[in-house]
Structure 1
């Protein structure tokens, strides 16, 4: 019974975190239905799959927190730059560059969490 409970919790976490990846990666895009959203979402699915296999979603949780913090900083930065009438080049705010940037953020945050977890487990 305990194993079934853990499996169900893992499936629910996978689905909820997948939805958070979908929302998080679509916020900054000019066209949230853009094909470029698939790039960070696929990376998110790969990280979720890795976390499910390892049965450790903590790294994904911290990665999602970092993702939403970086999105918040990006929104504030774009708002401030727009308010002071600084025109950002379309290359910087295009869907492709934002998708690649979000993919980088997701990957780096997960890798940093992986290295922290590995270091912590060696001490135990």
Structure 2
């Protein structure tokens, strides 16, 4: 996402950047670049199912539907299970904390809590 925002190409994910007949080659090139960045951010075992989708928006919408849907309780349960069974093992403290924080962030994406006041916003 950072590369996409840095290059001001988020419109390809939201559909705000529309295909233009005047600039078809530019649109196609940029859309392909965004698609590539998205697919490269996945685990290699998952990327194959997305590479065949024809636009970055299609990839983005498919990911959102599969992984971040409001009713995806199974994914949330899986992440909670991983968090509860995760231990430092042979990892350095920095690696352990980084991986645990990443799992917490994933879990937060499934949380339905909406902060309503400044204290909640800071705490959440």
State the TM bucket, normalised to the shorter chain: 0.3 to 0.5
TM-score by length of 2: 0.36
TM-score (norm 1): 0.36
Q: Which is greater in Rg?
A: 2
Which is richer in helix? 1
